[in-house]
Each structure stands twice: as structure tokens, then as C-alpha cells.
Amino acid sequence: GYVVLHLKKALGNDAGTSAHIERTIHPKNADESGTHLNRELIQFPEGITNRTEAIQRQIENAGITRKIRKNQVKAIGVMLSGTSEDMKCIEDTGGLNDWCADSVDWLQKTFGADNVISAVLHRDETTPHIHATVVPMLPVKVPLSIA
């Protein structure tokens, strides 16, 4: 089988993608009767209720002193899946929870655990998949000066 991995820059507050992931709007290709099967794989910190707030909190906590433009890339959207056949096989053999755990583990090792702020399993569409959000923060290097 094949692995499906999509990376997409999230511009501005990325409200449209947040609405899709959080199902505040229901896309035509999703079965509303199956939305209850979707699940959060990474919980938001206390006081944070949605993806947009989580992105903003991550940026605020990074201690960035320069101004962030409204249209600047603030996050990376990651979609993980496989072929319909492979995902159905994983689901039918009871391996979906392990696949989700392995996927979240890979995301956190690849991008840094603190940088992966959200991961949601969608099961209300034809093929199960994970939408993850990464806010890639790098440690600030303080230049050394000779006094």
C-alpha cells in the first residue's frame, strides 16, 4: 500500500481549515451521522477551545518580539492517511488506534512534541485520516558579543 502525507502552509488564522477540521461546517464529502466517530488525538491546553486559539497561544508563548503579519504562515497543516483499501484493512483488523498512536508519535518526533498542537482523526469521510497542526518554533539563538 501507500502512505498519504500532505503538508500545507496555514496562512493567517486559517479559519476555513479550522472549521473543516473541527466540523463547525460539514463538508459535502463527510457523513454527518458519523461525525461522532471523529476524535481528538492531542488535547488542547487548559483554557484553549479550538485550533485557532492553540496556534495563537503557541506563537505568543514563543516570545517572538517582531510583529507577525496577518498573512504570514503561522502553522503547517499535515494530513496523514493511506489508500482507501489499506485504511479499511487497518480499521477492520482493529489496528486504527495503533495507527493513530504511531502517527502522532511520528509527528512529535519529526516536528517536536511541543510544536504539534493538534491532531484529529476523521472517520466521517470515506477514508479515515488525521489532520494535524504544527507550529514550527525553533529555539532563539542569542548572538554572543564580546564586551
Domain 3-134 fold: BirA Bifunctional Protein; domain 2 (3.30.930)
Query: Residue 76 and residue 67: Cα distance in Å, rounded?
Result: 19
Question: Cα 6–41–124 angle (5° rounding)?
Answer: 70
**1-10, 82-91, 97-106, 117-126: least confident range:** 1-10
The residues that bridge with 131 in the sheet, in sequence order, are 79, 120
Among candidates 80, 12, 99, which has minimal Cα distance to 51? 12
Indicate if the pLDDT at residue 34 is higher than 90: yes
Among candidates 16, 49, 13, which has minimal Cα distance to 135? 13
**Mean pLDDT to the nearest integer, 23-35:** 91
Confidence of residue 86 (pLDDT cuts 50, 70, 90): very high
**Mean pLDDT to the nearest integer, 54-77:** 86
pLDDT at 60: 87
Q: Please tell me which residue, 15 or 5, carries the higher pLDDT value.
A: 5
Residue ranges per structural domain of the chain? 3-134
- Mean pLDDT for the chain overall: 90
**Mean pLDDT to the nearest integer, 58-71:** 83
pLDDT at 147: 57
AA letter at 105: D
Write down the pTM of the prediction: 0.88
